[in-house]
Amino acid sequence: MEATVVETTPFSGQKPGTSGLRKKVKVFQQAHYLENFVQAIFDTQEGLAGGTLVVGGDGRFYNREAIQIILRMAAANGVAKVLVGQGGILSTPAASCVIRKYKTQGGIILSASHNPGGPDEDFGIKFNIGAGGPAPEAVTDAIFARTESIDRYRIVDADPVDLDQIGEVSLGAMTVSVIDPVADYAALMESLFDFNAIHQLFNSGNFRMRFDAMHAVTGPYATEILENRLGAEPGTVMNGTPLPDFGHGHPDPNLVHAHDLVMLTQGAEGLDFGAASDGDGDRNMILGRDFFVTPSDSLAVLAANAHLTPGYRSGITGVARSMPTSQAADRVAEALGVECYETPTGWKFFGNLLDAGKITLCGEESFGTGSDHVREKDGLWAVLFWLNLLAVRHQSVADIVTEHWRGFGRNYYTRHDYEALDSDAATGLMSHLHILLPDLPGKQLGDFKVDYADDFAYTDPVDGSVSTGQGVRIGFEGGSRIIFRLSGTGTQGATLRVYIEQFEPDPSRHDQPVQQALAPLILIARELAQIEARTGRSEPDVIT
Ligand code: VG1
Ligand code: CO
């Protein structure tokens, strides 16, 4: 089978953001658009020729078409073997698991994660390295640089591969192996958590839960693990069939978009446990009866209780959190006598720390939690971790978290998102903050005195690489913080994220409503950044 060399010209803006290249489907459907980016991966990642590549996606609109193109291009670029999930499905953590388990040279994951899907919505592509994690900046920079000068790509002419039939087929000299997308991942989960204890919890007759897959990729994973292997009653998994448009929904597991699930956990008849995951299965939301676990708290609770699960019985070597994530995990690390690292937003910054054994657990405020078992955040893993804790501690979600606060203090936390802003207004707002920074330290803002104010930069402790411009950080005496940054995953205008945190050591003050407890800091943030004057928005679009 001969490879065709197709002439092409560069597209501007093929720069991967926080997690891969994300654009509207219509952008990806332009002739040569996907091909250019994929060829840039092959041109810069030399190990792929003669190697094995993993390919899969979250099942959104254009997933199958994109996979067929990638398979034909992989064959033309000398890849020896591709492992592809049946039906083109692989959740992001499952892809990471497969990349690592079969010691492949990397993977291509097709997803725009929590962004909506459909012909007029979003699509995305990212490259993961052989260690299983998202490509670090040096790699994404090289891929981007290649897209700017690309003049040809290679592709074979062949019929579409049957993605629904498990087994091996040839595409020219390349082998395509269609694999069960769930099996390897489920086996890994079974090795980490006490499935017997969770099974008993489900059988106890006094535990009711639902998992909302939001019509996205975790449906088959959750059904197999929760219902088939752990014996949860049929129907435990809601919205469990992956749909190309996620049932017109927004597959983002938060209080706004997973509203139906939230309702099921409320009131005297509310569920004991509710959980949800996002488009590609790497996020998680954890709910108890009338209780929402802030992702930053979830990371801290998992770190403090890791020794209660089989996979982490010997304790954790360290923990890392993204810069805007609350400092709750820092307090646990201190108590355990291990290091807590503060990294820029995006899972790619955890890879080196995990590979070097410096950390066991890591997390982000954006509903992301994970460990060294893979190199992506992992939604179902977090759900199973919580279930394992509930099973062995015999306490409710609310009791576990409030007890945690009593021991470590509570970090009140919220994130306010202002979406689809005018890009110039958003960059203007950030420049305005940058101008304020040098004069802020020592200043009194309301009841709060500024301790430090900077534009966050990170030096990777393993390879020394430096990442700058990672968000404006204003720290107050006593540990409160306000953080401003612009999203790197949106596809429309700009999204401003404002993160607010306040530490409260006094247990008698741990049961205030979050927005109320943080109201003074929220006001300071709005005034300091001139949000309404500059963006025309008086309220955020999403509050978590
Ligand atoms: C957001 C989150 C970030 C997360 C990223 C990818 O990025 O804030 O913490 O790593 O999404 O998550 P941004 O740049 O929009 O703030 V996923 O589940 O979309 O792959
Ligand atoms: Co995701």
Q: In what order do the strands lie in the sheet with 481-486?
A: 444-445, 448-455, 472-476, 481-486, 494-504, 410-421, 542-543
For ligand 1, atom 4, the nearest C-alpha belongs to: 346
How remote is the CA of residue 280 from the centroid of ligand 2, in Å? 5
Residue of 192, 188, 165, 189 lying closest to 176 (CA atoms): 165
pLDDT of residue 88: 97
Spatial neighbors of 424 by CB under 8 A, at least 6 apart, are none
When pLDDT is averaged across residues 37-60 and rounded to a whole number, the result is: 97
How remote is the CA of residue 233 from the centroid of ligand 1, in Å? 33
Write down how long the chain is. Answer: 544
Q: Among 15, 19, 323, 414, which residue has the most ligand 1 atoms within 8 Å of its CB, making it the best to mutate? A: 19
Is the pLDDT at 31 greater than 90, yes or no?
yes
Is the pLDDT at 490 greater than 80, yes or no?
no
Confidence of residue 17 (pLDDT cuts 50, 70, 90): confident
How remote is the CA of residue 499 from the centroid of ligand 1, in Å? 14
Of the listed ranges 14-18, 22-26, 130-134, the least confidently predicted one is 14-18
pLDDT of residue 258: 93
Is the pLDDT at 1 greater than 80, yes or no?
no
Amino acid residing at 101: K
Amino acid residing at 517: A
Confidence of residue 285 (pLDDT cuts 50, 70, 90): very high
How remote is the CA of residue 437 from the centroid of ligand 1, in Å? 25
Q: How far apart are CA 72 and CA 533, in angstroms?
A: 51
- Tokens 């010997």 label which residue? 314
When pLDDT is averaged across residues 408-436 and rounded to a whole number, the result is: 96
Confidence of residue 374 (pLDDT cuts 50, 70, 90): very high
Would you say 102 and 188 are in contact if contact means Cβ atoms under 8 Å apart?
no
The closest ligand to the CA of 280 turns out to be 2
Is the pLDDT at 491 greater than 80, yes or no?
no
β-sheet bridge partners, residue 542: 417
Is the pLDDT at 18 greater than 90, yes or no?
no
Question: How many CB atoms are located within 10 Å of the residue 84 CB?
Answer: 27
- Over pLDDT 90: what percentage of the chain? 96
Q: Given the CA of residue 92, which atom of ligand 1 is nearest to it?
A: 20
Is the pLDDT at 99 greater than 90, yes or no?
yes
When pLDDT is averaged across residues 63-70 and rounded to a whole number, the result is: 98
- Over pLDDT 70: what percentage of the chain? 100
Is the pLDDT at 489 greater than 90, yes or no?
no
Would you say 355 and 77 are in contact if contact means Cβ atoms under 8 Å apart?
no
Would you say 252 and 276 are in contact if contact means Cβ atoms under 8 Å apart?
no
For ligand 1, atom 1, the nearest C-alpha belongs to: 489
Residue of 357, 314, 355, 361 lying closest to 340 (CA atoms): 361
Q: Given the CA of residue 20, which atom of ligand 1 is nearest to it?
A: 20
Give SS3 for 22.
strand
For ligand 1, atom 11, the nearest C-alpha belongs to: 489
Confidence of residue 488 (pLDDT cuts 50, 70, 90): confident
Each residue's pLDDT tens digit, 204-241: 999 999 999 999 999 999 999 999 999 999 999 999 99
Q: Which residues line ligand 1 (CB under 6 A)?
A: 18-19, 113-114, 278, 282-283, 322, 345-347, 364, 366, 368, 487-489, 497
How remote is the CA of residue 19 from the centroid of ligand 1, in Å? 7
Kindly report the backbone phi and psi dihedral angles of residue 404, in degrees, each rounded to the nearest multiple of 5, phi listed first: -60, -45
Confidence of residue 520 (pLDDT cuts 50, 70, 90): very high
Would you say 82 and 176 are in contact if contact means Cβ atoms under 8 Å apart?
yes
pLDDT of residue 524: 97
Q: How far apart are CA 192 and CA 196, in angstroms?
A: 12
The closest ligand to the CA of 343 turns out to be 1
The closest ligand to the CA of 496 turns out to be 1
Active site residues: 113
Is the pLDDT at 308 greater than 80, yes or no?
yes
Mean of the per-residue pLDDT values of the chain: 96
User: Which tokens in the block code for residue 409?
Assistant: 């203090």
Q: Given the CA of residue 345, which atom of ligand 1 is nearest to it?
A: 9
For ligand 1, atom 6, the nearest C-alpha belongs to: 19
